[in-house]
Chain A
Amino acid sequence: MNDTLIDIKDLRVEFDVRAGIIKAVDGVSFDIKRGQTMGVIGESGCGKSMTARAILQMIPKPGKITHGEVLYYRKVKSDGETETVDVVNITKQHPDGDLIRQIRGGEIGMIFQEPMSSLTPVYTAGTHINEALYLHWLTPLKKVGDQMAETVQAHRKITKQEAREISIDMLRRVGIPKPEQRVDSYPHQLSGGQRQRVMIAIALSCQPGMLIADEPTTALDVSIEAQILDIMRDLQKNVNMAIMFITHNLGVIAEMAEEITVMYMGKQVERAKTVNMFYDPKHPYTRALLKSIPHVGKKTRERLAVIEGMVPDPFNLPIGCVFHPRCPSFMPGKCDKIVPTWKLLKDDHWVSCLLYEEV
């Protein structure tokens, strides 16, 4: 049985603005398996959020997908068979068709970075979760005993009372105290950590097969971050959900992900299993990134290693390897002329760097 859930192939997203074309995502390919956590790291503007949004076809204008496909191996509920859907293709035909709306939020959930601005201030926590349930016409989260009833209920709208009960249950599962009362709270009555929990509850209420978490803990304090990461891991185990975890925090990614993709200026530069990425990084950018963070508990009076220079102007990208002006292993005559290819080094360790190519 094929356990791949999402397969992104040579995805390109471009923004056509007055000053030129920005290649926000430039040839990204990776796959995510069921139940697996794929980490995506990179600095701001490297295209990690755009890659995630491309999966759900939520690229803001004037951006558009110019190339590539996002294959989604969709489980057809009744018989456990999978059908393959190219998400890019279905939205070309029906931009707001039933299928993409079913996938978006129903089968693939998403959590955003800013819990305050992603919740509507005039709706209660419960209303937010109900909305997701009504939209997807589901009766999710059946207990084992209810499995029999499922076939009866699967194709009808849920009632208000059911939705409320499910909402309370979801809030309880994400660790909100007194969920019976909190279900009627408005976002401003909740703390930052609780808001993010409500976001997770919304995203998970329809039992998605995959969760896209775009910097879910960046706005939170470490003690709350620890709680949220714990909840996400627990829920993942319970429902065998895949997670695409986007962050710039190397500590968080080390804890959460099984596999990591590193992005720089819209391109993926390295992909490996988490342990290999941290202990045997291949790309000079990954190496520099790992060295430039202060480690808690390792006090040295040494200076931090820095990546010289700045992220290049997106309208005027360097020729050859985009990282070459900042690269400590820059090879004149090679890196500034030839674009490196995406190459498999050894078991599941991919890199795009001329150091590992014979040219």
Chain B
Amino acid sequence: MAETTKTDDILLDVKNLKKYFPIQKGLLRRTVGNVKAVDDVSFFVREGETLGLVGESGCGKTTAGRCIIRLYEPTGGQVLFKSHQVLSPDGTSQMVNLIDLSHKQMQPIRQEISMIFQDPINSLNPRMTVSDIVAEPMVIHGKYHAPESEEIIVRLLERVGLRPDHMRRYPHEFSGGQKQRIGIARALSMNPRLVICDEPVSALDVSIQAQTLNLLEDLQKDFNLSYLFVAHDLSVVQHISDRVAVMYVGKVVEMASAEALYSSPLHPYTEALMSAVPKPDPLYKSGRIIMQGDVADPSNPPSGCYFHPRCQYAIDICSQLAPEFRELRPDHFVSCHRAEELTLRGV
């Protein structure tokens, strides 16, 4: 490692995060194994930036996002967050490990980290009006004061592109794109610093998807937000992210700036994944790498590098030894035995 990466502006630092779901069997519900949904995952998010987290379904990207705000209790590891709510004795902000906190201690931090969900229909309570939905975080955190808060809600709704007269309506009266805007307004109502976006546009039509992506980018500038953007669509992730982490079967296999990752990937999985994306250009010569077989089973992963059964560059060591996640180039992390020698194709 010639240069080390700048670390002083890191907002969220996830270290060796693990989440195992036990598989129970028999009358006594004995644990017979674990689904290693997230297995030793490390990544960080700097202030004001967007980290894209991509991977195929079942790779643990959603679970990793949920572990950060402890919607799931992690099995191990650290989630360090630079909180403004929990200050060090000398009054400056410090990195707190969210996993060590009790639920009561965690509560104020939930104002700083909010979440936008994938399914705009099921993530809004059908029996609450829009203003109730957006106000709920304020009520929970005891910050709701009638006239001022109403105004804040009106301003927020206008900011996300809804009209003030939408306040008294119910979620079913809105289209999918509008529902997602309500979800975004709710996520912003406590002035968070980090927003975990879990597939926020994958349920939307292309024209609405573009509107929502632009809105998220504008809001990031206006409110100085940091995003952890979890998605499976590589082109969307490339568009919105400053840096991108690629996950495969519970592990981050590569993390770099969006530019470096897409133009010169270091991990064969990243290369194959990018080549598999159908390009909206009929004259594009597809040099597609077709990965054989299915994604590995996280309850029974292969030995060594999890990707080796599908990897066209695999050699003997790949099936024996798990590669280390290391910083090969400045700010470009990869876990592959052959990363130095391989020259992989980007897009």
Q: In whole angstroms, what is the CA distance A222 to B269 when docked?
A: 12
| B206, B239, B272, B276 interface centre (most CB from chain A within 10 Å) | B206
Q: Which of A194, A249, A289, A297 contacts B262 (CB 8 A)?
A: A297
Once the chains bind, are A303 and B284 in contact (CB under 8 Å)? no
Once the chains bind, are B205 and A254 in contact (CB under 8 Å)? no
Residue interface bits B237-266, CB-to-A below 8 A is 1, else 0 = 011000000000000000000110010000
Once the chains bind, are B234 and A222 in contact (CB under 8 Å)? yes
Is B286 close to A, CB under 8 A?
Answer: yes
Rounded to whole Å, the gap between the CB of B248 and the closest CB of chain A is 10
Residues of B within 8 A of A299 (CB): 238-239, 258-259, 262
Residues of B within 8 A of A248 (CB): 205-206
Rounded to whole Å, the gap between the CB of A297 and the closest CB of chain B is 3
Q: Beyond A223-B56, A299-B262, is A275–B273 a contact (Cβ under 8 Å)?
A: no
Residue interface bits A182-202, CB-to-B below 8 A is 1, else 0 = 000000000111100000000
Q: In whole angstroms, what is the CA distance A257 to B69 when docked?
A: 44
Q: Which of B207, B236, B288, B294 contacts A226 (CB 8 A)?
A: B288
Once the chains bind, are B278 and A255 in contact (CB under 8 Å)? yes
Is B274 close to A, CB under 8 A?
Answer: yes
Once the chains bind, are B238 and A44 in contact (CB under 8 Å)? no
Residues of A within 8 A of B290 (CB): 223, 226-227, 230
Once the chains bind, are B288 and A307 in contact (CB under 8 Å)? no
Residues of A within 8 A of B213 (CB): 294, 304
Is B280 close to A, CB under 8 A?
Answer: yes
Q: Beyond A223-B291, A306-B210, is A293–B280 a contact (Cβ under 8 Å)?
A: yes
Is A7 close to B, CB under 8 A?
Answer: no
Once the chains bind, are B281 and A306 in contact (CB under 8 Å)? no
Q: Which residue of A lies closest to B292 (CB)?
A: A227
Is A292 close to B, CB under 8 A?
Answer: yes
Q: In whole angstroms, what is the CA distance A305 to B208 when docked?
A: 11
Q: Which residue of B lies closest to A221 (CB)?
A: B56
Once the chains bind, are B205 and A251 in contact (CB under 8 Å)? no
Once the chains bind, are A296 and B262 in contact (CB under 8 Å)? yes
Is B315 close to A, CB under 8 A?
Answer: no
Q: In whole angstroms, what is the CA distance A327 to B100 when docked?
A: 54
Q: Which of B56, B262, B283 contacts A275 (CB 8 A)?
A: B283
- Tell me the count of chain A residues lying within 8 A, CB to CB, of chain B: 45
- Tell me the count of chain B residues lying within 8 A, CB to CB, of chain A: 45
Q: Beyond A191-B294, A296-B262, is A225–B278 a contact (Cβ under 8 Å)?
A: yes
Q: Beyond A44-B205, A223-B272, is A297–B347 a contact (Cβ under 8 Å)?
A: yes
Is B5 close to A, CB under 8 A?
Answer: no
Once the chains bind, are A252 and B210 in contact (CB under 8 Å)? no
Is B175 close to A, CB under 8 A?
Answer: yes
Q: In whole angstroms, what is the CA distance A288 to B258 when docked?
A: 26
Is A352 close to B, CB under 8 A?
Answer: no
Q: Which of A43, A274, A279, A303 contacts B205 (CB 8 A)?
A: A43
Q: Beyond A223-B272, A225-B276, A254-B281, is A292–B210 a contact (Cβ under 8 Å)?
A: yes
Is A132 close to B, CB under 8 A?
Answer: no
Is A250 close to B, CB under 8 A?
Answer: yes
Is B282 close to A, CB under 8 A?
Answer: yes
Q: In whole angstroms, what is the CA distance A251 to B278 when docked?
A: 5
Rounded to whole Å, the gap between the CB of A183 and the closest CB of chain B is 18
Residues of A within 8 A of B301 (CB): none
Is A328 close to B, CB under 8 A?
Answer: no
Is B24 close to A, CB under 8 A?
Answer: no
Rounded to whole Å, the gap between the CB of B233 and the closest CB of chain A is 8
Rounded to whole Å, the gap between the CB of B94 and the closest CB of chain A is 33
Residue interface bits A273-296, CB-to-B below 8 A is 1, else 0 = 011011100000000111011111
Q: Beyond A223-B291, A306-B211, is A296–B235 a contact (Cβ under 8 Å)?
A: yes
Residues of A within 8 A of B324 (CB): none
Interchain residue pairs A-B with the least CB separation, the first 4:
A297-B347, A251-B278, A294-B239, A221-B56
Instruction: List B residues at the A interface (Cβ < 8 Å).
Output: 56-57, 175, 177-178, 205-211, 213-214, 217, 232, 234-236, 238-239, 258-259, 262, 272-274, 276-284, 286, 288, 290-291, 293-295, 346-347
